[in-house]
Amino acid sequence: MRSRWFAACTLGVESALEAELSGVGAMSVRTVPGGAIFDGDTSVGYAANLWLRSAIRVQENLIDTQVSSPDDYYAAIEAHPWEDLITPRHTLSIDASVADSFTTHSGFAGLKAKDAIVDRVRSRTGDRPSVDRTDPDVPIKVVLKHNRLGVSRNLSGLSLHKRGWRPIQVKSPLNEATAAGILRLGEWDPTTSLLDPMCGSGTFVIEAALRAARRAPGLTRSFAFMRWPDFDEQLWTDLCDDARGRALQTLGIPLLGADRHAGAVSLARLAAEAAGVADLVRFEQADIADFRPPAAPAAVFVNPPYGERLGEGEDLERSWVQLGRFLKNHCGGAQVHILCGDKALSQHLRLRAARRIPVRNGPVDCRVLRYEILAPRQARSDAPPA
């Protein structure tokens, strides 16, 4: 049966998500700020959770209607056949958001939605499901905007960026889904080499390896829909078996990360091991001022420090100066993408950006800056005469 779905993502990577959705059989894809709406049957919804790299959540839209009062709101939700989707032995949670509607209180909207669902199940089965705000079997999303009611069930449960391979929560990490989205925004070719010379815990390099090796990110974790009464276990098994059959065991390209901090490199190696790509990547401890890659990379993706938590003052500026020098001296011919949350810092690169792509990284409004680094021979030929 065909359903309407919504995949949420970080603001700015919607076009990357749209490109990914074409690979899982999604139909009628339409991007909106923070995600994409699409159509498809159950296999598409499952495949989206299994394969999407830049998404953070996949929802099945259940209700979409206009309401004008608390009574209308309750009736619209209570009329849905919830007894087919949740039983008294299951738990649920309600995540409600409200804007410009008959109520301005999200807590009221969540409580009213919970009452409608519980009352419906109890009237049909004689018992009611319980609420679990921490680890619910059926997470429900309610959006009330301009009195337009949308109700969805969240197939993913935990955010899809939680692949299961990051062993320790590190300081100021780059979200895995955001990193995957930036790789696609940067039009990185998974058959070409990639370098991150300030790799931190290795997110860009590991996400690049998973994509190049055709490893489905959802194979390493579980999902909320696996606990539902209508879970199609055979369909899910078939999709997972197909995904395992697509995976590559070796790559013919170098994927390299380097960082000056030994602790970060150690965490990157642990994460690569947990992700199953330790044999496909390499991490080195090296300050960017001294680092010499074995060969000029085809692509560079880097998330240098740009906030007070990671550095400040002259040391922070110096790291950007050194990054600019490194790119000019050792990355000739490469296409470079730098995630920047402070425009003033990018000036220290002494490079002219070919493109600026707005992307949100956590609470920070950033830009992905694209630079085309001239190959050495081209740079010499373009130099002015002495």
Q: What are the tens digits of pLDDT across the range 93-128?
A: 999 999 999 999 999 999 999 999 999 999 999 999
Q: What pLDDT is attached to residue 174?
A: 85
Q: What pLDDT is attached to residue 1?
A: 79
* CB proximity list for 237: less than 8 A, separation 6 or greater: none
Q: What pLDDT is attached to residue 307?
A: 66
3-class DSSP assignment, residue 27: strand
Q: pLDDT at residue 310 above 50?
A: no
Closest CA to 303 of 240, 228, 384, 369: 369
Q: pLDDT at residue 32 above 60?
A: yes
Q: What pLDDT is attached to residue 308?
A: 47
HSE-up (13 A, CA, CB side) for residue 273? 8
Q: pLDDT at residue 382 above 60?
A: no
Taking only the tens place, the pLDDT of each residue in 239-294 is 999 999 999 999 999 999 999 999 999 999 999 999 999 999 999 999 999 999 99
DSSP structure class, residue 223: -
pLDDT band at 171 (very low <50, low <70, confident <90, very high): low
pTM: predicted TM-score of the whole model, two decimal places: 0.92
Report the C-alpha gap between 38 and 17 in whole angstroms: 11
Q: pLDDT at residue 135 above 70?
A: yes
User: Token pair of 274, please?
Assistant: 């947990």
User: Token pair of 140, please?
Assistant: 């429900």
Q: pLDDT at residue 386 above 90?
A: no
Q: What pLDDT is attached to residue 235?
A: 98
360: β partners = 365
Q: pLDDT at residue 78 above 70?
A: yes
Domain ranges of the chain: 3-154, 176-213+248-382
pLDDT band at 381 (very low <50, low <70, confident <90, very high): very low
Homologous superfamily, domain 176-213+248-382 = Vaccinia Virus protein VP39 (3.40.50.150)
Q: What pLDDT is attached to residue 315?
A: 85
- Fold exhibited by the domain 3-154: VC0802-like (3.30.2130)
Segments in 311-383 forming alpha helices (H): 313-330, 343-346, 376-382
* CB proximity list for 295: less than 8 A, separation 6 or greater: 193, 254
Name which residue leads in pLDDT, 173 or 254.
Answer: 254
* CB proximity list for 286: less than 8 A, separation 6 or greater: 258, 259, 260
Q: Give me the mean pLDDT over the 353-371 stretch.
A: 95
Q: What pLDDT is attached to residue 166?
A: 84
Where b means 16+ CB within 10 Å and e means fewer, 60-98 reads bbbeeeebeeeeebbebbbeeebbebbbeebbbbbbbeb
User: Minimum mean pLDDT among 18-32, 223-237, 331-345, 365-379: which range?
Assistant: 365-379
Q: Give me the mean pLDDT over the 38-55 stretch.
A: 98
Name which residue leads in pLDDT, 1 or 49.
Answer: 49
Q: What pLDDT is attached to residue 375?
A: 81
Segments in the chain forming alpha helices (H): 14-21, 42-51, 70-78, 106-125, 176-185, 203-212, 233-246, 262-275, 313-330, 343-346, 376-382
